[in-house]
A and B are shown apart, each in its own frame.
Chain A
Amino acid sequence: MKALRYLALSVAAVLFLVPFYLVVRNGLVSESEISATSWTFLPSSVRWENFAELFSDPAVPLVRSMLNSLVVAVLQTAGQLLLCSMAGYGLARIPYRYANVVFYFVVATLMIPAAVTFVPSFVVVSTLGWVSDLRGLVIPGLFSGFTAFLFRQYFLNFPRELEEAARIDGLGHWRTFWRVVVPNSRGFFAALGVIAFVTSWNQFLWPLVIAQDQDSWTVQVALSTFLTAQSINVHELFLAAAVSVTPLVIVFVAMQRYLVKGVTETGIKG
């Protein structure tokens, strides 16, 4: 029974890892080997020079688009954590006559996935003149009702004693938040932050709509453009894909604990 379990898991694990292997394999072979007449698991020869070729090919804006992705993901993660944690704290902890009204407006947005309203959002962002612009890529994604909601739920359960101690020391809401609440919530911030980063790095539809000039492409848009047009060498495309996944694999390995926590936090409450 136990052996059977391990057998099943091992077969599944191999199936899950094969696509990763294929990205790397196809990135390191010659162009003709990808569409050769017969397929071999191991390539006939590994061409490390493909790296040099990829990074020197002016047709593939890989470095630029990875940089764009990085900037977008970092700004979006930082901005979302900042804005949504503040909003969540205000909604959870500051008594105010209209707090409930505001809260309902936030909750109402939870029912509408952002992707479904990409057409209206495009209308607004293009009116602001933010098409093919970093602002258009980053800012609309900062105001996640869901993240604010999660922060509010979290702060509702935050131990009041800690805040009261700060209050006794004469700190207002603002300084209490930054000096006591945030430093004691690092794990939660890290969990939501990792999720926000991964989501931002991998998002596709919104950057596809907004990043129309090549200079503003994120790495997903760049890869997709070459994939649907097939206008570069396929081995370069695979290698570029491998390079684009590497930062996230590193994040996954390094931040596994927070990631799992983030998934359970953001997933279950969905």
Chain B
Amino acid sequence: MRHGRAFWLFVGPFAAGLLVFVYVPIGWSLVLSFFDARNTVTPTEFVGLRNYVDMLTDGPFLSSLGTFSVFAAFVVPLTFVLALALALLVNQISFMQAFFRSVFFLPTACSYVVASLVWKLSIFNGLRSGLANTVLGWFGADPVAWTVSTSPPWYWLVLVTLRLWLQLGFYMILFIAGLQRIPVVLYEAAALDGARSWQAFRFVTLPQLRTTSVAVLLLLLIGAYQAFDEFYNVLGTDRGYPPFARPPLIYLYYTALGSGGQDFGHGSAGAVILTLLIVGVTLLQGRAVRR
């Protein structure tokens, strides 16, 4: 009994908050997802699974999952490879190591909003005098309307490079930490066996980084799944958002809170679907790692 009181003294405030701000919202939205809840959070019209059917047959929601897939297909492997490369480079040098590590890590201090500002209005604006277009100009190429053009969809270059700049340093740090946990004796043994440096990388570094790599991949995937900030700030305008390049959270934002009225029924159904998807992926990943 005494333990019970002490336990709740420590855990109670947190548990209560978790209940109110995590479990109640999820439960409530589960309820809302079965109702026609336009412009109200206390709906009366039960519609069964209709919101789910709408979402899963509705082009925009499915295409938002497609947008996420395209985005993840670029961002995840690129970040993984480049962050690993930076980590290896930084880890191998001794002079100015701290300096380089800090420089690559520094963009983490920036918000997506600030990065979007630089990318949209300075580097990738459509003017001939934009930085990217100036560089193109050196090679005699015509200026490109980076954030406007949909064929070819240059905005992907804008969005992907932006995210790379912001997150590479973070993942580089994770890889460096992983690299430093590899026992030096393994490399010494490999050298004794006459392994070349790439062989050491292939047969020592990579296997030893397995845990880090799996964690990094999952984090990258979840990060891409939640992409919102840079899409909203680079492509959004004061008159709304263009009808393409809408990742899931952008789509939900405009469904549930956009100018088309607050549709909490569909918005909640979408949130439930996204939650189930991510829980599924996490469980699958957990099983894969355990194996």
Contact = CB atoms under 8 A, between A and B. Distances in A.
- Check whether chain A touches chain B (CB < 8 angstroms): yes
Interface of A: 2, 5-6, 8-9, 12-13, 16-17, 19-20, 22-23, 26, 34-39, 83-84, 86-87, 89-91, 94-97, 99, 102, 105-106, 109, 111-113, 115-124, 126-127, 139-140, 142-143, 145, 148, 172-174, 177, 198, 201-202, 204-205, 208-209, 220, 223-224, 227-231, 234, 237-238, 241, 244-245, 248-249, 251-253, 256, 259-260, 263-264, 267-270
21 contacts: A8-B89, A9-B93, A13-B100, A23-B117, A39-B131, A96-B4, A96-B7, A109-B18, A112-B22, A115-B226, A117-B22, A118-B253, A120-B28, A143-B17, A173-B6, A220-B113, A237-B117, A241-B114, A252-B102, A260-B105, A267-B173
A198 B129 contact: no
A238 B111 CA distance: 13
Contacts of A173: 6, 9-10
Contact of A249 (B4, B6, B41, B109): B109
B279 interface: yes
Chain B CB within 10 Å — which of A20, A91, A116, A127 has the most? A116
Interface string B97-139: 0001011111111111111111111110101111100100000
A166 to B, nearest CB: 14
A83 B13 contact: yes
Contact of B271 (A26, A38, A119, A237): A119
Given A35-B127, A117-B26, A23 B114 contact: yes
A120 B271 contact: yes
B257 A122 contact: yes
Contacts of A23: 114, 117-118
A8 B89 CA distance: 9
Given A145-B18, A209-B253, A252-B102, 8 more contacts: A16-B165, A86-B14, A120-B268, A123-B25, A142-B17, A174-B9, A209-B257, A263-B173
B11 A91 contact: yes
Nearest to B3: A96
A123 B264 contact: yes
B249 to A, nearest CB: 6
Contact of A22 (B4, B103, B123, B249): B123
B228 interface: yes
B221 to A, nearest CB: 11
Contact of B177 (A2, A96, A224, A264): A264
B134 to A, nearest CB: 5
B225 A111 contact: no
Nearest to B9: A174
Nearest to A37: B129
B104 A13 contact: yes
B215 A143 contact: no
A228 B236 contact: yes
A76 B211 CA distance: 31
**Interface extent on B, as a size class?**
35 or more
B146 interface: no
Q: Is the interface of A mostly helix, strand, loop or mixed?
A: helix
Given A227-B113, A229-B238, A139 B278 contact: no
Contact of A124 (B4, B20, B104): B20
Contacts of B233: 224, 227-228
A223 B219 contact: no
A145 B22 contact: yes
B249 A115 contact: yes
A127 B275 CA distance: 22
Given A39-B129, A142-B17, A267-B173, A119 B238 contact: no
Nearest to A142: B17
Interface string B227-243: 01100110011100000
Nearest to B236: A228
Nearest to A249: B109
A72 B257 CA distance: 23
B200 interface: no
Interface string B255-288: 0110000001001101100110011001100000
B222 to A, nearest CB: 6
B130 to A, nearest CB: 7
Nearest to B21: A140
Contacts of A118: 249, 252-253, 271
B29 A227 contact: no
Contacts of A264: 173-174, 177
Contacts of A116: 225-226, 249, 271, 274-275, 278
Contacts of B212: 268
Contacts of A35: 125, 127, 129
Contacts of B186: none
Contacts of B113: 204, 220, 223-224, 227, 241
Contacts of B257: 119, 122, 209
B90 interface: yes
A95 B2 CA distance: 10
A20 B106 contact: yes
A267 B215 contact: yes
Chain B CB within 10 Å — which of A111, A120, A145, A263 has the most? A120
A87 B226 contact: no
